[in-house]
C-alpha cells in the first residue's frame, strides 16, 4: 500500500494515549490523553478536562520528542499532529514546548485550558505554524470548538491555517492531502 503522505527520510511516531477511566464514558477505561468529565460548554469550560492528566500526557509526548532529538533529529524539524484529543494535545504540548518546533496539526480537536494558555506558553513557539482541520458535521467535537480555537490562537498572534470538511468525527483523504501539503510548506 502506498504511503498516504510521501515524505522520504521522515520518521513517523504514533504514540498511543494511556488507558484510563473516562468519566464521560461511564468511567470505562479506554485510551485517553485526559479525562473528559462532561460534554458541552465549548472549550475551556472549567472542570471539563483534567489538567493533571493533560500535563502527564504532555510529558509522555515531550519524552518522545526528546528521545528523537537525542537520535539527532532537530526540534525545528518535528511536527506534532493529532486527531480529536490528540489534536488538543498537539496544541497543548507544542505551544508549551521550550524549543522551536516546525509545526502543529490539530484535526477535529480544540484548545484545552484557554484561560491559562497564554501564561503557560513558551515564547519559542509563538510563531510556529499551525494547521487546524475540522468537520462541519462533527458530532463529538463541534465545529464551533474548532472555530473558537482558531480565533483565540489568531488573536494571540499564532499563524493558523483553518480547513473545513463536510464530514463527521473522522479523517478524509482531502484532509490527509492538506496535511501533506502543510508538511511540505513548513519543512521544504
**11 within some domain:** no
Predicted confidence (pLDDT) per residue in 84-113, tens digit: 999 999 999 999 999 999 999 999 999 999
Task: Please check the confidence at residue 1 and state whether its pLDDT lies above 80.
Answer: no
In a domain, 39, yes or no: yes
CATH number of domain containing 130:
3.40.50.1820
* Per-residue model confidence (pLDDT) at position 72: 94
Residue 59 domain-assigned (yes or no): yes
What would the DSSP string read from start to end of 130-146? EEEEEETT-SSS-HHHH
Q: Is residue 2 a part of any domain in this protein?
A: no
- CA atoms within 13 Å, Cβ hemisphere of 181: 10
List, for residues 34-70, the tens digit of each pLDDT value.
998 877 655 555 678 899 999 999 999 999 999 999 9
18/89 Cα distance (integer angstroms): 13
The yes-or-no answer on residue 188 being catalytic is no
H-helix or E-strand containing 63? helix 51-70
Q: Which of 57, 90, 134, 138 is catalytic?
A: 138
Domain count, the chain: 1
Give the whole-angstrom CA distance, residue 126 versus residue 63.
21
Q: Which is the catalytic residue, given 32, 43, 57, 84? A: 84
Query: By C-alpha distance, which of 36, 37, 38, 33 is closest to 54?
Result: 33
| 9 in any annotated domain | no
- Report how far residue 143's alpha carbon sits from residue 166's, in angstroms, rounded to the nearest whole number: 11
85-96 helix and 51-70 helix, angle to the nearest 10 degrees = 70
Does residue 8 register a pLDDT over 80? Answer: no
Q: What is the pLDDT of residue 140?
A: 83
Greater confidence (77 vs 41) lies with 77
pLDDT at 172: 82
Structural domain contains residue 6: no
Distance of CA 164 to the CA centre of its chain: 16
Mean pLDDT in residue range 161-169 = 91
Concerning whether 117 is annotated as a catalytic residue, the answer is: no
Cβ–Cβ under 8 Å, residues 20 and 32: yes
Provide the residue range defining the domain that includes 149: 19-187
Residue 138 annotated among the catalytic residues of the structure: yes
Amino acid at each position: 500500500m502506498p504511503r498516504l503522505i510521501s515524505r522520504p527520510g521522515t520518521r513517523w511516531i504514533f504514540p498511543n494515549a494511556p488507558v484510563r477511566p473516562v468519566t464521560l464514558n461511564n468511567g470505562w477505561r479506554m485510551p485517553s490523553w485526559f479525562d473528559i468529565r462532561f460534554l458541552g460548554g465549548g472549550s475551556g469550560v472549567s472542570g471539563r478536562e483534567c489538567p493533571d492528566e493533560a500535563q502527564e500526557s504532555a510529558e509522555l509526548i515531550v519524552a518522545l520528542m526528546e528521545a528523537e532529538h537525542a537520535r539527532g533529529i532537530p526540534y525545528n524539524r518535528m511536527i506534532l499532529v493529532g486527531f480529536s484529543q490528540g489534536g488538543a494535545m498537539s496544541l497543548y504540548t507544542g505551544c508549551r514546548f521550550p524549543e522551536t518546533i516546525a509545526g502543529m496539526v490539530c484535526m477535529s480537536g480544540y484548545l484545552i485550558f484557554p484561560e491559562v494558555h497564554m501564561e503557560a506558553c513558551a515564547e519559542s513557539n509563538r510563531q510556529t505554524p499551525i494547521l487546524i482541520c475540522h468537520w462541519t458535521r462533527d458530532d463529538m467535537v463541534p465545529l464551533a470548538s474548532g472555530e473558537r480555537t482558531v480565533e483565540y490562537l489568531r488573536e494571540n498572534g499564532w499563524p493558523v491555517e483553518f480547513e473545513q470538511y463536510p464530514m463527521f468525527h473522522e479523517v478524509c483523504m482531502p484532509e490527509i492531502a492538506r496535511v501533506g501539503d502543510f508538511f511540505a510548506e513548513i519543512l521544504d
